[in-house]
Chain A
Amino acid sequence: ETGVTQTPRHLVMGMTNKKSLKCEQHLGHNAMYWYKQSAKKPLELMFVYSLEERVENNSVPSRFSPECPNSSHLFLHLHTLQPEDSALYLCASSPRIGNQPQHFGDGTRLSIL
């Protein structure tokens, strides 16, 4: 089983829908991250959680709402998204916060109609 698992792998939704992305890590890590990767743009940090506590909200619009119920699971709740939100959403985890290697999942490819 891979270290960081993201579901679904692909998601197509309308602008008025509500959906959630799920991330699960099996590495015993204490920190988890959400990144957005758009075509021709750098990886963009969205949220950082350490021991289920949010430590960073990198000026992300409120239509993205993270949830970290425990150190192994991370969700990204989506509602009223815009076409420019179409991107690859990557989850990562690291042993702890700080200069640590981050292990990434394969991402969820999100398309907004």
Chain B
Amino acid sequence: QQPVQSPQAVILREGEDAVINCSSSKALYSVHWYRQKHGEAPVFLMILLKGGEQKGHEKISASFNEKKQQSSLYLTASQLSYSGTYFCGTDLPGETSGSRLTFGEGTQLTVNP
């Protein structure tokens, strides 16, 4: 029931791009993205509410494909500060409000100089 993230880990050189996917086996009404650096609290990135919606946060953007039950997070021209674990969260089964989320296992992103 939890969303599935891919890849599990990715290593980049500074300036390279990456895509992180979040897939669900059930219909999605919203997708929440967070980043957590080692030893720190998760930090909110964005929420996508509609199918096909794209949002951006600095050079980080995301799309939501309702038909495919999938969201993708795009990191362009990556910076060292982008390193961390990225989590997507979706509604628990039976929920559509975004109040109760189930999270994927996370994608560990490492950006090297």
Q: Is the CB of A55 within 8 A of B104?
A: no
- Closest B residue to A107 by beta carbon equals B41
Question: Does A101 touch B at the CB level, under 8 Å?
Answer: yes
Interface residue range, chain B: 20 to 34
Pick from A41, A50, A104: contact of B42, CB under 8 Å = A104
Pick from A58, A100, A106: contact of B100, CB under 8 Å = A58
SS of B interface (majority): loop
The 8 A CB mask of B69-113 against A (1 = contact, 0 = none) is: 000000000000000000101001000011111111110000000
Question: Does A60 touch B at the CB level, under 8 Å?
Answer: no
Chain B hits for A104, CB < 8 A: 41-43
Chain B hits for A98, CB < 8 A: 97-99
A40 to chain B, nearest CB (A): 8
- Closest A residue to B100 by beta carbon equals A56
Q: Is the CB of A101 within 8 A of B41?
A: no
* Interface residue tally for chain A (C-beta within 8 Å): 26
- Closest A residue to B106 by beta carbon equals A42
User: A103 vs B47: C-alpha distance in the bound complex, in angstroms?
Assistant: 13
Question: Does A99 touch B at the CB level, under 8 Å?
Answer: yes
Q: Is the CB of B92 within 8 A of A43?
A: no
A9 to chain B, nearest CB (A): 11
Pick from A31, A50, A101, A107: contact of B47, CB under 8 Å = A101
Question: Does A74 touch B at the CB level, under 8 Å?
Answer: no
16 residue pairs of the A-B complex, CB under 8 angstroms, read A31-B99, A42-B2, A42-B87, A42-B104, A42-B105, A43-B87, A43-B103, A44-B103, A48-B99, A48-B100, A50-B99, A58-B100, A90-B42, A99-B49, A100-B98, A107-B41
